[in-house]
């Protein structure tokens, strides 16, 4: 099993550009989530999904969109990048109430 | 809505001393609680989890945590710190689809 995979690992954007962070898992987990990690802020939940076709907002959803067309994939879209979105992004998956598995992270810089 | 508060963003202990990392949660229904560890430049790893089976939970690397409903706490302890325990520790809570993390506590272990 590859677990949770994320691409790209590093990305530099200019303000106003859009992009999609890819996330996939091969563990047949129903729950998938996106977090951003910033120094002193811990991990903050952006969006999450409890199954294909079902998504909901987390703590900091503004400026991000998600969709969940399959159980395996959960892409995160930045609509118009801003410097405040410079962060490390983690995708994660789990079965309800069980251990959450994290991807390796994407380090995003917005200039 | 659920939330987590970790008291103390930095904790420093001497090697061999007791480690105590504090976590308080807020939830209107019985929660599931987790502790994760993140070593420098690495992803998050599960230390232990509380799922209502037992109030004292033992995890990996000698860590344990006690669920105290009356105090809404889930503090992490280890009797004797090792240099390799230096890392950032996160408490997390879930009751529904969201898994919410605290701000994190950086543990420093001095020789």
Whole-angstrom distance, CA of residue B80 vs CA of residue B56? 18
> Closest approach of chain B CAs to the CA of A25, in angstroms?
16
pLDDT at B95: 81
Q: What is the pLDDT of residues B60-75, one digit of tens each?
A: 999 999 999 999 999 9
Is residue B64 within 8 A of residue B77, CB to CB? The reply is yes
Tell me what pLDDT residue B30 has: 82
* pLDDT for residue B43: 85
Q: Closest residue of B to A41, CA-based? A: B103
Nearest-Cα distance to chain B for A66, in Å, is: 15
pLDDT band at B27 (very low <50, low <70, confident <90, very high): confident
| β-bridge pairing A10-13 and A106-110 | parallel
* Residue contact B90–A50, C-beta within 8 A: no
CA dist list (Å): A48 to A62, A79, A98, B21, B65: 13, 17, 15, 28, 27
Do the beta carbons of residue A15 and residue A81 sit within 8 Å?
yes
Residue with tokens 């992490």: B76
Any chain B CB within 8 A of the CB of A61?
A: no
């Amino acid at each position: 099993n590859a677990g949770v995979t994320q691409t790209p690992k590093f990305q530099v954007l200019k303000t106003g550009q859009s992009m999609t962070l890819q996330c996939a898992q091969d563990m047949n987990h129903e729950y998938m989530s996106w977090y951003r990690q910033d120094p002193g802020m811990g991990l903050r939940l952006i969006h999450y999904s409890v199954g294909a076709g079902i998504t909901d907002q987390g703590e900091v959803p503004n400026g991000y969109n998600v969709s969940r067309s399959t159980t395996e994939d959960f892409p995160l879209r930045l609509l118009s990048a801003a410097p405040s979105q410079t962060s490390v992004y983690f995708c994660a998956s789990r079965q309800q109430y069980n251990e959450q598995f994290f991807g390796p992270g994407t380090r995003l810089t917005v200039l | 809505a659920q939330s987590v508060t970790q008291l103390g963003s930095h904790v420093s202990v001497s090697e061999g001393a007791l480690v105590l990392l504090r976590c308080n949660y807020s939830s209107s229904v019985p929660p599931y609680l987790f502790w994760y560890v993140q070593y420098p430049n690495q992803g998050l790893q599960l230390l232990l989890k509380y799922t209502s089976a037992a109030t004292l939970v033992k995890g990996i690397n000698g860590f344990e945590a006690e669920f105290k409903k009356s105090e809404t706490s889930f503090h992490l302890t280890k009797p004797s710190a090792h240099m390799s325990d230096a890392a950032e520790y996160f408490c997390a809570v879930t009751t529904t689809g969201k898994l919410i993390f605290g701000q994190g506590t950086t543990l420093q272990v001095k020789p």
